[in-house]
Structure 1
Amino acid sequence: MTVVIAGAGPTGITLACELARRGIACRVLDQAPRLFEGSRGKGISPRTQEVFSDLGVLDRMLADGMPFPKFRLYAGHDVVSEQTVSELLGVQPLRRSPELPYPETLLLPQWRTDEILYERLRELGGQVEFGTEVTGFDQDEDGVTVHTSAGPIRASHLIGCDGGRSRLRKALGVGFAGETLETERTIIGDARVDGLEGVFCHMFTKAGDIGERFSLWSMPGGEYYQFVATMPTERTPELTLDAMNRLLRERSGRDDLHLHGLRWISLYRVNVRMVDRYRVGRVLLAGDAAHVHSGASGQGMNTSVQDAYNLGWKLAAVLCGAPEELLDTYETERMPVAANVLGVSTRLHRLNFQRSTEPVAVHQLDVSYRGGPLAVDDRRTPGRLRAGDRAPDGLLDDGTRLFDVFRGTHFTLLAFGRRPDADFGSGVRVHRAAKSEGYDVDGDALVLVRPDGYVGVICDRVETVREYLERVSGTA
């Protein structure tokens, strides 16, 4: 029986890739006639780059993207300041190291991210059924009947990746608590610009008042810029090219800049909301369908992709015989992450591009599932690396990169000290490991890394590893 995924954005296609490379049949449905055409979610965090590396698409993204530009603030024609993302957030920039191969946020328009992910899905044998709307569903103990504009589909599970206005979320009747900032609206779009030089996030103001700005983001390739302007609800202009040029002249105090070739434009209000449940029986929610927030932190697409990455291997495992309870850990692990992201994005939204006096981390490398149901660490004295943490990159004794060892659908057992004399089955690959900076373990320690690159177990007993594998895969 197939899995049905509603929504062909980054969340839905990432999930489809995760299932497809595990041999799980799935159908991706989207009511739109084609992939999204705008640049909306343009920042790919260091942690999401690691996810995309595992999926086999990062090289394409690095080739087409560029490092995050500096923020340049203008007062009329004068440049007031230039700041890096790290300076704006009050944090030290990350440095490349054997444990951290991708320290910088990558700038890539969402339309290109979607294209690359879809290319990968097609390589894995999958497709998106465009122009097909999910209109409802009925579920029972054995599956879900998904009602669509093209007819009913019988599925094992239905995953709602259908965005902030999710029809599936509303049909499930789950809570979606939070707030809506009714006093302001944000216009965002893509256009060509005449009269602009330099690769920056150009923030134009008439007299240095950052609250009255018109931002033009340089994008890879240089042909299009993303424009962003926030304003009081009662002053929102028409969504036309002429209106955007008038707003640019009004806010910048300049007449030498001109927008043309409008590709995409949208108006949105900021919602800060999240569901109280990620799963109701055989129907699950992921991405913006489960949590929405300000785009100020650039966390939306990254959090959504990592929802899919967490859910994918678990859903595949359950469909291959793992205990059904494994799906409950998706909500347990991802809900606190979403709550934290909502807090970070709201704080940065209120800062309104003013320099933060307290450090704010947005790389998501520190996301951890410590203390959760899938984190087992039985050492008497835990080290810096704990079960539930992201497994760092590094090198094996023969020079092989750990991320290359992790890449794929399997579990990885790193054996520090002597290699265990045990067979854990085809779903686990065992590697002898030397001491490395990222793995502060002692003696004959065993570190089991999950398929999504998080440490599941740190222990010194083979039996502990076997018991864990029984819980998450149904095999020992």
Structure 2
Amino acid sequence: MVTSTTDVLIVGAGPTGLVLAADLARRGTRAMLVERADALFPGSRGKGLQPRTQEVLYDLGVLDAIYAAGTAYPTMLLWEGDEPGQEWDMLERTEPTEEVPFADGWLVPQARTQEVLYARLRELGGEVRFGTGLAGLEQDAEGVTARFEDGSVVRAAYLVAADGGRSTVRKALGIGMTGEAVDAKPMLVADVRITPDAPVPDTHWHVWPKAPEGGVAFCPLPSDAGRLFQLAAQYTDETAVPDTSPAGVAKLLATRTPLREEHVAEVLWTSDFRARAALADRFREGRVFLAGDAAHIHSPAGGQGLNTSVQDAYNLSWKLTAVLAGAPERLLDTYEEERLPVAADILGISTRIHRAGVLDKGARRGEEVQQLGIGYRESALTRETRTDLAEGALRAGDRAPDGRRGGIRLFDTFQGPHWTLLSVGTDPELPSLPGKSIRTARIPAYEAYGTGVFLVRPDGYVAWAGETAQGLETYLTELGIGAAGR
């Protein structure tokens, strides 16, 4: 017996599910977000937000709240036992530019990121059904029927699995994951509040790479209550079983760092794991999609997992809305086409960073982790009609840069659920596109774009580019974007 219906059922209220639900809500698409747990995830796990993800959060209208909840990454401080030593910067810091206004990673505990996203979802009229575990699902040509442990049944046009690395949905579909152990040695992660007299300052990210029994990193976290740190400890013994109890965490710190057990005032959250890298064999099965950790599992090195997951949701949301409004079903094929290769590449990056030594001085992270270079030039959605472009020129499929020209800020023009038709440094006749959710803007010549006409997707990538608008209406008709009105 079906107890409720929706257009999109999202399983899992982590960052992926919350971004997807919020973006669907602002598009006016009916969605239901369910979560097996009784509350949002409480820990710091995915604590780094990369520049591209900050752009997504700007578009969603939550970046100011994210900045208020976080801080810039601290510099690293290398310890030899009880003695502090050299400092170094793990990040290759860069200055903001007109094209890239958010240049460096931002440190925000995952729990705070989720709180901000949840607040935005509620502002948009959405909600999370907590304590709702999935028991099973079936699908047919018209939709998906999901059964829950509380006996309720939901019928949806589409279902998105955002339920993590141990995804119930992925297992129910029989979709395998291909992967490897990045590191056979176990790790423990914990959020620890320490006393005011604990002998480590809040100004640095402290590392003891040569600590007995395994290296330790101790990163200060923004907290209104103060003196909160994320502990990440590795074990040299592959057979070790991490003690995740508060007493076990305090003992580990006392054994490996200058802190004593009495310096641990509170242990808020703990987890143990072995670093893995794995990729789902496919990201779609009929009317069901995999996103976030349900589709790809990363080593935490390089801060790539949460960021890749957020961008999965950002890629999928506008496509679901368009198809539900009448665009051809084949538009949804481009989700896997675009995101699976990206996830595979990023898995390689995080694995390389981990194996290079995440606690070693000199291990620095630059452009490869910022995700600004991700693009979809080979996508079926991409049309580049210009010829003889210079090397390095912006092309269809690339991220659309920010900038201010002619009294217009581009990111503000792009912000929202619409497409943007942008004329740069030229004044061609543009097609009239009434009721098609395509905003038109004209700006003077701008070196980040060159000159021409650019159609920017709702997720901030150039879909179509030309010297004039010739062929644009045909492109929109082929994709069904005009017919969909989205």
TM-score computed with the length of structure 1 as normaliser: 0.94
**Residues 282-293 of structure 1: matches in 2 within 5 Å?**
282-293=287-298
- What secondary structure sits across from 1:153 in the alignment? strand
- Report the Cα distance in structure 2 between the residues aligned to 1:460 and 1:181, rounded to whole angstroms: 47
User: In 1, Cα distance between the equivalents of 2:183 and 2:412?
Assistant: 47
1:202 to 194, 203, 206: 206
2:9 and 2:160 in contact (8 A); partners too = yes
Q: How many residues align?
A: 465
CA 362–157 in structure 1, closer or farther in 2 if over 3 Å, else same: same
2:50 is equivalent to residue 45 of structure 1: yes
Report how far residue 53 of structure 1 moved.
0.4
Any idea what SS the aligned residue of 1:183 has? strand
Distance 2:107 2:377 in 1: 30
> Are 2:457 and 1:450 aligned?
yes
Given the alignment of the two structures, is residue 431 of structure 1 paired with residue 441 of structure 2, yes or no?
yes
Matching residue's letter, 2:110: Q
Identical-pair percentage: 43
1:89 aligns to what?
none
Alignment partner, residue 402 of structure 1: 410
The residue type equivalent to 2:165 in the other structure is G
What stretches of structure 1 move > 3 A for 4+ residues in a row? 208-211, 253-257, 356-360, 471-474
Q: Does 2:359 align with 1:350?
A: no
Distance across 2 between alignment mates of 1:262 and 1:433: 53
- Structure 1 unaligned segments of length 5 or more: list them: 87-91
Q: Which residue of 2 aligns with 1:147?
A: 147
Cα deviations by residue, 1:154-204 (Å, 9 ceiling, x for unpaired): 110010000000011111112200113573111111111231213221113
1:105 aligns with 2:105: yes
Question: 2:398 is matched with which residue?
Answer: 389
Alignment check: 8 A CA contact 2:187 2:242 kept: no
The structural deviation recorded for 1:356 is 4.4
In the TM superposition, what whole-angstrom CA distance separates every residue of 1:293-336 from its partner, at most 9, and x where no partner exists? 10011001000000000000001100001110000000011011
* In structure 1, C-alpha distance between the alignment counterparts of 2:364 and 2:190, rounded to whole Å: 30
Separation in structure 1 between the aligned mates of residue 364 and residue 301 of structure 2, nearest angstrom: 16
Contact 1:19/1:312 (8 A) holds in 2: yes
Inter-partner Cα distance in structure 2 for 1:127 and 1:356: 41
Q: Distance in 2 between matches of 1:209 and 1:263?
A: 23
1:32-71 equivalence runs, <5 A? 32-71=37-76
What residue in structure 1 maps to residue 3 of structure 2?
none
Question: Residue 403 of structure 2 aligns to which amino acid in structure 1?
Answer: G
Deviations 1:90-130 (A, max 9, x none): xx532211111111111011111001000000011100000
Tell me the secondary structure at the aligned position of residue 137 of structure 1: strand
- Given candidates 471, 482, 485, the residue that maps to 1:475 is 482
Q: How does 1:38-437 map to 2 (within 5 A)?
A: 38-86=43-91, 92-150=92-150, 151-181=152-182, 183-194=184-195, 195=198, 196-204=200-208, 208=210, 212-221=214-223, 222-231=226-235, 232-252=237-257, 255=260, 258-353=263-358, 354=360, 355-356=362-363, 361-383=368-390, 384-397=393-406, 399-416=407-424, 417-426=426-435, 427-437=437-447
1:255 Cα offset (Å): 4.0
Q: TM-score, normalised by structure 2?
A: 0.92
Shift of 1:78: 2.2
User: Is the CA contact 1:294–1:345 (under 8 Å) kept in the aligned structure 2?
Assistant: yes
* Offset at residue 473 of structure 1 (A): 4.1
Say if 1:241 and 1:260, in contact at 8 Å, map to a contact too.
no
State the distance in 1 between where 2:242 and 2:292 align.
Answer: 30
Judging changes above 3 Å, is the alpha-carbon distance between structure 1 residues 430 and 211 closer, same or farther for their aligned structure 2 residues? Answer: farther
Instruction: From the superposition, tell whether residues 209 and 471 of structure 1 become closer, same or farther in structure 2 (CA, over 3 Å).
Output: farther
| 1:267 partner letter | D
Q: Which consecutive residues of structure 2, in runs of 5 or more, have no partner in the other structure?
A: 1-5
- CA spacing shift, 1:257–1:419, aligned 2, 3 Å: farther
Cα contact 2:382–2:463 (8 A) shared by 1: yes
Q: Distance in 2 between matches of 1:182 and 1:97?
A: 37
The answer to whether the Cα contact below 8 Å between 1:419 and 1:432 also exists between their aligned partners in 2 is: no
Instruction: Choose 234-243 or 16-25, whichever is displaced more.
Output: 234-243
Mapped to 1, the partners of 2:446 and 2:85 lie a distance apart of 45
Question: C-alpha distance in 2, partners of 1:350/1:41?
Answer: 19
